[in-house]
Structure 1
Amino acid sequence: MASVVVTGITGQDGSYLAERLTGDGWDVHAIVREGTRPDEQEVTPGVTVHAGDLLDTDSLRAVIDSVEPDLIINLAGISSVAQSWTQPELTARVTGLAVSGLLAGAWALQERLGRPVRFVQASSSEMFGAATERPQTENTPLKPVSPYGAAKAYAHHLVGVYRGRDLFAASAILYNHESPRRPETFVTRKITSGVARIVNGDEPKLLLGNLDARRDWGWAPDYVDAVLRIAQADTADDFIVATAVEHSVRDFVAAAFAAAGIADWEGFVELDPRFARPVDAPVMVGDNTKIRTTLGWVPTRSFDEIVQAMVEHDLALRSS
């Protein structure tokens, strides 16, 4: 049975990935930080949990050396752009520097065992930041405009460095992807849960920041499928994972209210400067030609279907 070590397994993507891996018969091991809140430690049955901390690369290496995995998938890190502005140093260490420890551990294990060890990094569209190209491709220059994007860019470059050292090191450049499992700290889930609270009479308004930012939103389980395809590809490479369709935050708000049966939504939304980012990448939309043609990946849900699934979930939570 092939074995895999996953970081970030308690997050949205990690939960879907764990279900896929265990269902496919993998021996799944997860690195989870000690002291994590109990509700964050819930993992898919059948997953072996190991204590580790992204701030302690020795602990990461210890798990890798103990498990001797065939594959390492790194999903962990501070994933909130807003949080990266308030904690830039922590973001650099957790989202960027920790990847060097994981890659070094994978390469050292490969050298010790004399067999291939594969590594897949969850990179981010935020690395492109102020990109002048639209849509972005795998060759678009990286121009991050946030501490989060800069940390992801550092990690992404390291993946290429270790690929040059004969490690199967690949990057899934993930654009925004959503599901009912998305935490409410993200604007998309904030919107859908806010709509549910308004419908339920719990709140009168939805407070938001920039409604004009445009993003490429996909379905999280589709993106997990892409990560697994990249992990099992014949050759390690970088792949953009995106729908190639852009929408504004305003579009997301309108779709969320429409899914709840509200057409005239403007009166329920109020702009609050507290939620505006210091700098916001204006338009993020990815060209998925490479992963479509090379690995046969295609998105399965439309933008409206994604928003509807999230709203229905949040409405059900408040009616139960």
Structure 2
Amino acid sequence: MKKALITGITGQDGSYLSEFLLAKGYEVYGIIRRSSSFNTGRIEGIYEDPHVPHRRLHLVYGDLNDASSLNHILRTVQPDEIYNLGAQSHVRVSFDIPEYTGEVTGLGTIRLLEAIRESGLRPKFYQASSSEMFGKVLEVPQRETTPFYPRSPYGAAKVYSYWITVNYREAYNLFACNGILFNHESPRRGETFVTRKITKAAARIKLGIQHDLFLGNLEAKRDWGFAGDYIQAMWMMLQAKSPDDYVIATGETHTVREMLELAFDRVSVDWKKHVKIDEKYYRPTEVDLLIGDAGKAKRELGWEPKVGFDELVAMMVDADLAAEKERLEGVRPRKQ
């Protein structure tokens, strides 16, 4: 039975990936940080699903800021595959906490790679790279050969992680891959990210819980896909004959405004009556256009996205609408 170690297991991608690997017969270990409150909501469904062998899911305490914990976990678990998904992943927030973002998103990767090197183990390694590395894009669409031009502390930290992964692959002959994933969303997306912020607001405004939605740049263009599709690409990279780096994207671009229109149309609400522009949500340096070319992943891995943009937005709105209705029913007194 293969063992997989996942950093960032409690996040959107980590939860989908853990379900995917468990279904393939893996034993899954997830690194979580010690906290005074639980942050395992996204993976609780695994324990509640009678068809999922939850006894093969293990959570261990560790931190990408703590090299000793990473060394201990690697020697104890001895994983066959490592998926480094852990990061301070909010681009706008990275401007507010740039040093912390660099520590976790950037240096956290080299701590993990060093732990692998020092342990003497030979696990396959996946590094979650990001389309934000392209930033002020120098080529449209962006592919594996497009130069990086990050426009945020987050993007810059991800560039460091990308190149240190390449360096360790070449210097120490590690099976290490970079997945340059473009924006990928789902009902499990964090509520502070613009896509989930929009779909949740659409549901709440429809139900009369909320009236206004505050956003920044509505003309920013992104290549949005479904997280459930993208985590399969991560696994495919580590099953290839040799390690390499791949762009994972849909090849389509949509504006924030388009997402607004689709989300609010889904609940038959006029978004223009509720959306307010707030300058605090603008980034100091903006990324205007991201669109990826996943041709290499299609040719070499056989990967293609399955869920389209319209279907993705509908899925997220429907999930948020159902969740908000349940919440309302829970607080309202029952009729006698």
Note if contact 1:178-1:217 (Cα within 8 Å) is conserved in structure 2. Answer: yes
Alpha-carbon distance, 1:144 to partner: 0.3
Amino acid at match of 1:281: V
1:217/1:71 CA distance change after superposition, 3 Å: same
Amino acid at match of 1:52: G
Aligned pair partner of 2:99 in 72, 89, 95: 89
Consecutive unaligned residues of structure 1, counting only runs of 5 or more, are none
Corresponding residue for residue 177 of structure 1: 184
Corresponding residue for residue 82 of structure 2: 72
Aligned pair partner of 1:220 in 224, 227, 248: 227
Secondary structure at the aligned position of 1:50 is classed as strand
Note if contact 1:106-1:119 (Cα within 8 Å) is conserved in structure 2. Answer: no
Q: Distance in 1 between matches of 2:219 and 2:304?
A: 27
Alpha-carbon distance, 1:85 to partner: 0.6
Corresponding residue for residue 16 of structure 1: 16
**Taking every aligned residue pair, what percent have the same amino acid on both sides?**
45
Corresponding residue for residue 40 of structure 1: 40
Amino acid at match of 2:262: A
1:232 aligns with 2:239: yes
Consecutive unaligned residues of structure 2, counting only runs of 5 or more, are 47-53, 327-336
Corresponding residue for residue 322 of structure 2: 316
Q: Distance in 1 between matches of 2:314 and 2:7?
A: 29
Q: Distance in 1 between matches of 2:276 and 2:77?
A: 50
Corresponding residue for residue 143 of structure 1: 149
Secondary structure at the aligned position of 1:183 is classed as coil
1:204/1:77 CA distance change after superposition, 3 Å: same
Count of matched residue pairs: 315
Alpha-carbon distance, 1:40 to partner: 3.2
Corresponding residue for residue 333 of structure 2: none
Corresponding residue for residue 306 of structure 1: 312
Secondary structure at the aligned position of 1:305 is classed as helix
Deviation >3 Å, runs of 4+: 39-44
Aligned pair partner of 2:262 in 234, 248, 255: 255
Amino acid at match of 1:216: D
Q: Distance in 2 between matches of 1:36 and 1:135?
A: 44
Alpha-carbon distance, 1:276 to partner: 1.1
Q: Distance in 1 between matches of 2:194 and 2:96?
A: 17
Question: Per-residue displacement from partner, 1:227-249 (whole Å, max 9, x unpaired)?
Answer: 11011111100000100100000
Question: Per-residue displacement from partner, 1:98-140 (whole Å, max 9, x unpaired)?
Answer: 100111122333xx35xx4210000000011111201001011
Note if contact 1:120-1:169 (Cα within 8 Å) is conserved in structure 2. Answer: yes
Secondary structure at the aligned position of 2:200 is classed as helix
Note if contact 1:32-1:41 (Cα within 8 Å) is conserved in structure 2. Answer: no
CA RMSD of aligned residues (A): 1.2
Alpha-carbon distance, 1:41 to partner: 6.7
Note if contact 1:173-1:239 (Cα within 8 Å) is conserved in structure 2. Answer: yes
1:97/1:41 CA distance change after superposition, 3 Å: farther
Amino acid at match of 2:22: T
Secondary structure at the aligned position of 1:167 is classed as coil
Corresponding residue for residue 49 of structure 2: none
Note if contact 1:106-1:118 (Cα within 8 Å) is conserved in structure 2. Answer: no
Question: Per-residue displacement from partner, 1:17-36 (whole Å, max 9, x unpaired)?
Answer: 00011111111111111126
Secondary structure at the aligned position of 1:38 is classed as coil
